[in-house]
């Protein structure tokens, strides 16, 4: 399985391209935003854990301190990617600010 975590924007793009199978990950938060993701086979859905929420709070505090807050759901998604050592695939460039506080965060911005 690819060590990729697909954000909602990436899932939508794959769906539009009629991709039926992705051997990678997404989160339940992304599925809630885009339920049609469930039609993509081999996509493993991750649920936030207690440690994901703890990390998300730390990330939110750090982002506020540097004046670069992003949506709470996206912070949780970033925390899940970090805790699972996954690369986040997204179209949303605001995820890049996570690297300002967590250089080990891996994100792939797609067009």
CATH code for position 91: 3.40.50.1010
Map 12-74 to HEC letters: HHHHHCCCCEEEEEEEHHHHHHCHHHHHCEEEEEECCCHHHHHHHHHHHHHHHHCCCCCCHHH
Q: Is the pLDDT of residue 33 over 90?
A: yes
At 46-87, the pLDDT tens digits run 999 999 999 999 999 999 999 999 999 999 999 999 999 999
CB atoms within 10 A of CB 7: 27
**Nearest Cα to Cα of residue 4 among 75, 74, 109:** 109
- pTM of the full predicted structure? 0.95
Residue ranges making up the domain that contains 44: 4-109
Count of domains observed in the chain: 1
Q: Is the pLDDT of residue 44 over 80?
A: yes
């Amino acid at each position: 399985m690819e060590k990729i975590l697909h954000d909602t924007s990436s899932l939508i793009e794959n769906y539009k391209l009629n991709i039926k199978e992705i051997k990678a990950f997404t989160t339940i938060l992304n599925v809630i935003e885009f339920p049609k993701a469930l039609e993509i086979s081999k996509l493993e859905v991750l649920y936030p854990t207690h440690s994901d929420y703890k990390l998300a709070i730390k990330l939110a505090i750090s982002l506020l301190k540097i004046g670069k807050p992003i949506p709470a759901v996206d912070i949780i998604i970033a925390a899940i990617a970090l805790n699972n050592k996954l690369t986040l695939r997204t179209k949303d460039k605001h995820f890049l600010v996570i690297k300002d506080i967590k250089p080990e965060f891996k994100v792939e911005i797609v067009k």
